């Protein structure tokens, strides 16, 4: 099941939700400001990142700018508590399933959540269109 972690005023979150709905994909939506991420959820997100906390911290957020502490100096437990208490430190949207993670909305990258069969059909359609265009150019 796809999980979508959002905040209410986030345009990218609305785009991600709309895309998932357009594709008729089942997903669970969670507003991280009304229901903060649990430590297990944060650990699960971090386990799917390539760069750890670097990927999920919203460095441009006012919450980050006003921090009195260097995140690099925090223990994992302190960091998890900080994320739980200040959800605006977390980049949004977070879209994930058991194997994939996308942080932020990217129209191309979000396609990884489409079932393989759908992606294969779309690729076949692209190849067909290219072949048709080549046939027209040759004729």
Closest CA to 13 of 27, 46, 71, 99: 27
Question: With contact defined as beta carbons under 8 Å apart, do 92 and 6 qualify?
Answer: yes
Distance from C-alpha of 42 to C-alpha of 64, rounded to nearest angstrom: 17
Closest CA to 80 of 50, 122, 126, 36: 36
Which two tokens mark 63? 């919450």
* DSSP symbols for 25-94: --EEEEETTTSPPPHHHHHHHHHT-SSTHHHHB-TTSHHHHT-SS-GGGS-HHHHHHHHHH-GGGB-S-E
Active site residues: 10
């Amino acid at each position: 099941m796809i999980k979508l972690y959002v905040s209410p005023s986030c345009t990218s979150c609305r785009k991600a939700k709309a895309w998932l709905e357009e594709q008729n994909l089942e997903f669970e939506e969670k507003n991280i400001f009304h229901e903060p991420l649990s430590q297990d959820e944060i650990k699960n997100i971090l386990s799917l990142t390539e760069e750890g906390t670097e990927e999920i911290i919203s460095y441009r957020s006012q919450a980050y700018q006003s921090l009195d502490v260097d995140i690099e100096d925090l223990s994992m437990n302190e960091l998890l508590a900080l994320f739980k208490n200040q959800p605006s430190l977390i980049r949004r949207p977070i879209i994930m399933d058991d194997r994939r993670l996308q942080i932020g909305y990217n129209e191309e990258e979000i396609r990884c959540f489409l079932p393989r069969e759908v992606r294969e059909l779309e690729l076949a359609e692209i190849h067909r269109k290219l072949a048709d265009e080549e046939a027209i150019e040759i004729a």
